[in-house]
Amino acid sequence: MALIWAGTDIGKTHHHCVVLDADGTRLLSRRVLNDEPELLALLVDVMAIDEDVVWAVDVADGMAALWINLLLNHGQQLVYIPGLAVNRAAAGYRGTGKTDAKDATVIAD
């Protein structure tokens, strides 16, 4: 399988992760607690899809610290997509509502 993208919309208590393949097909969409066991389970599940993953987040500190540290400690590729860029890019997607799943899809894409 080719490279996959995992976008995570960061929240204070929960994050939403969407995984897309190179064609933009959604392979996984999940809301998880900002909690180490849940985040590690998400990491394992995504790695079971493909080990060649680029993780993207829309927050680089504070509430994202646990997730970022887990990813880096497990040797994962990580990129930061500024929230303003996600907001602007979201305008090009169907639907007018803002949801965590939609934002995670935009981040992954």
Decide if pLDDT at 1 tops 70: no
Q: Which one is predicted more confidently, 35 or 85?
A: 35
Tell me how far CA of residue 41 lies from CA of 1, 31, 45, 47, 68, in angstroms: 21, 12, 6, 10, 15
Q: What's the CATH code, domain 4-108?
A: 3.30.420.40
| Structure-token pair, residue 87 | 């907001």
Calculate mean pLDDT across residues 76-83. 90
Please check whether residue 27 is in contact with residue 4, taking contact to mean a CB–CB distance below 8 angstroms. Answer: yes
- Nearest Cα to Cα of residue 103 among 94, 92, 90: 90
Decide if pLDDT at 5 tops 80: yes
- Nearest Cα to Cα of residue 54 among 3, 105, 107: 3
Q: What is the DSSP letter of 62?
A: G
pTM for the full predicted model = 0.85
